[in-house]
Structure 1
């Protein structure tokens, strides 16, 4: 699966990425020239400048790099964590660890990605692999 061309623009790349998430599929790009993975989706590789990017399904495994707790009123859904996750493929993304209380998420914790589709919109979330609530 190839990325929309540079002529089609980064907006097309991002729209394609969101369409995939909306269909329940999480993909990252991999450069055919330098073999590095790319995320957030773009029209050219930020490492080598090549436009030869392909969509690949990542392993989904990663590690919490950083985490913070956003405090919210219970009426607004309660507290949630915002985490930076380093995927094993070498890219970092911002999301949240969804199967733990916000204060239980720890730097270095292993997690697995999944796509949650709500009201037709897909979002990448993570679940802790170890230490998850029963």
Structure 2
């Protein structure tokens, strides 16, 4: 059995002063991750203070590569099935996201993935980061 991925529109993100750089980078096809200027640790979800030492943080461009840590495929009534996953980026942070552009029955823990940016339903709004298997990217 195969479960094809069918694109679904995403809600436009709330763009605020604290995350404006993140969404601008997404428009440029770059994934940003916050790093602490004190202890040097990266963290996700983005916040202005480091969750490890309460130091200041700065944005750094991530490679956009990682592997699936865990996932779930939701098959329900509605427009289509979808795969939600935790992806551990090569930079060390884990983010919740969708797996796209693949047969959902072929998704596996440990599978290498690469970031893509999916359009949103807002006029001129930033795209959201999603991930596809490296062989499909």
Q: TM-score, normalised by structure 1?
A: 0.77
Q: Give the unaligned 5+ runs of structure 2.
A: 1-15
Partner of 2:51: 46
Structure 1 CA distance for aligned equivalents of residues 134 and 27 of structure 2 = 24
Contact 1:26 1:114 in 2 (8 A): no
Q: Give the unaligned 5+ runs of structure 1.
A: 1-10
Pick from 54, 68, 74 the counterpart of residue 72 of structure 2.
Answer: 68
**Cα displacement string for residues 61-117 of structure 1 (whole angstroms, at most 9, x for unaligned residues):** 1010001011133xx321110010000101000111112122221000000112223
Contact 2:30 2:62 in 1 (8 A): no
Segment of structure 1 superposing worse, 99-108 or 20-29: 20-29
Partner of 1:95: 97
Q: TM-score, normalised by structure 2?
A: 0.76
Greater relative contact order (Cα 8 A, min sep 6): structure 1 or 2?
Answer: 2
Greater helix fraction, Structure 1 or Structure 2: 1
**Cα displacement string for residues 14-41 of structure 1 (whole angstroms, at most 9, x for unaligned residues):** 3543444355432111112111112111
